[in-house]
Amino acid sequence: MSGATVLVRPGSYHDSVTLMRVSRAVSALPGVEVAMVAMATALNVSIIEELGFAVPEAGPGDLLVAVRADDPRAAVEEAERHLSAAHRPQAAPEEQRPLTTRSAATAAEDAGLVLVSTPGEHAFAEAYDAIEAGRHVMIFSDGVPVAQERRLKELAEARGVLVMGPDCGTAVIAGAGLGFANVLSPGPVGVVAASGTGAQQVTCLLDRAGAGVSHVLGVGGRDLSAEVGGLSTVRALRMLDDDPGTELIVLVSKPPAPEVARAVRELPLRTPVVPALLREGGTDLTEAAEQALRLLGRPVPEWPAWPAWRGARPAAKRVTGLYSGGTLAAEAALITGSRDIVDFGDDAYTRGRAHPMIDPALRVEALATAGESDVVLMDVVLGHAADPDPAASLAHAVARSPATVVVALIGTEGDPQDLHRQAAAFREAGAAVFTSNAQAARHARSLL
């Protein structure tokens, strides 16, 4: 007979990816029914309670180890062994490492960019140091107050450098991917994006059409707001305009503040700009990619899609969305008209947890609770830093779900997950698969 236990480790911090891996390792042990190792955020506590555990008093800075198993003590010991291994100190370096971001940036004279990926409340100081050292900055961190974002970008403008972010999940600099990035062929299209997955969709389609990409410069989802004023967007556009390898620019964003949109439109640039600004009745991401291809004089291909194998289903009554990308979710909501589109990549879901592009747990649970009359529309985003094999867990959940499932598979032929193998796995599980999120959303809507 199995037993259950929840232990609290006060003040023991581990990053969400490490905790996800430990949870998976313990869950795979013989005799373990369920295991979750996570920081005691409100969301994680609620999930552990929904799993049937009684959670002791704990705060977001505390670590929880929840186990239901034949031998809970052995399972907890295994979790602690993995956690200890993750924090095992490395051998002392021969030279003293820099103690601050500014000293590190100053010491690395040939480094042009600093990547900041600390908890949001600490990101400002590190980014400030990098800008003061004259380096471009990519702020992967979310949860940075908008006033701090504005201050950093004003300072960057004075120093002549670019701030990408905060909450910049994707960038590609001269072929080098940062954050969640697909394997892209080099080419003439530059992208400025206030959206990571929006940029990934556009660039994957361009890569499929053989157009290729020069650079992808993320600016953060709030950059085109009235509070920030498009400071990074303007600088990024000017940088690409000065780049001899960029012949065309695609600007990806949700609707900007009107006064900011006007300032961006009036920016004097030699390079043509294709806007991909998601709004009611506007151009979707696939249409923007197709427009860019036509301006380059290249043919627009048929975007690959794989119909579902599953036979007739009960009449569908609603479309629900289980997304990892915010802009892809927004595009799906615009096309389907559904109010049941959830962005699991939102800060509310990722605090204390790995991003859903890495950790499928929340979407696996949501698939299990969907009804027979639901059409579930979801994205699966491939590339570096994403789940190395998303079909390994999600395809099984698709096959077990009573809902009709439509998958938008965002990736390229060069991505390490093997796009065609992923498509085949989801199709065999009963899903219809599209490489265009817009086409996937239209297909989902047609099933109602």
Question: Among the CATH numbers 1.20.90.10, 3.40.50.261, 3.40.50.2000, 3.40.50.300, which is that of 101-295?
Answer: 3.40.50.261
**Confidence (pLDDT) at 417:** 97
Domain ranges for the chain, please list them: 3-86, 101-295, 305-446
Per CATH, the number for 305-446 is 3.40.50.261
Provide the pLDDT for residue 352: 66
CATH of 3-86, one of 1.10.287, 3.30.1360, 3.40.50, 3.40.390: 3.30.1360
The pLDDT value given to residue 170 = 95
Same fold, 101-295 and 305-446: yes
What pTM value is reported for the model? 0.85
pLDDT of residue 384: 94
CB proximity list for 248: less than 8 A, separation 6 or greater:
188, 189, 190, 271, 272, 273, 274, 292, 295, 296
**Could you list the pLDDT tens digit for every one of the 448 residues in the chain?**
578 899 999 988 887 778 888 888 888 889 898 889 988 888 788 888 888 899 999 988 899 999 999 998 899 999 999 888 876 555 445 566 777 787 787 777 778 899 998 888 889 999 999 999 999 999 998 889 999 999 999 999 999 999 999 999 999 999 999 999 999 999 999 999 998 999 999 999 999 999 999 999 999 999 999 999 999 999 999 999 999 999 999 999 988 999 999 999 999 999 999 999 888 878 899 999 999 999 999 999 999 999 876 555 667 889 999 999 999 999 999 999 999 999 998 877 777 677 889 888 889 999 999 998 899 999 999 999 999 999 998 999 999 999 999 999 999 999 999 999 999 999 999 999 999 999 999 999 999 8
Q: What is the pLDDT of residue 309?
A: 64
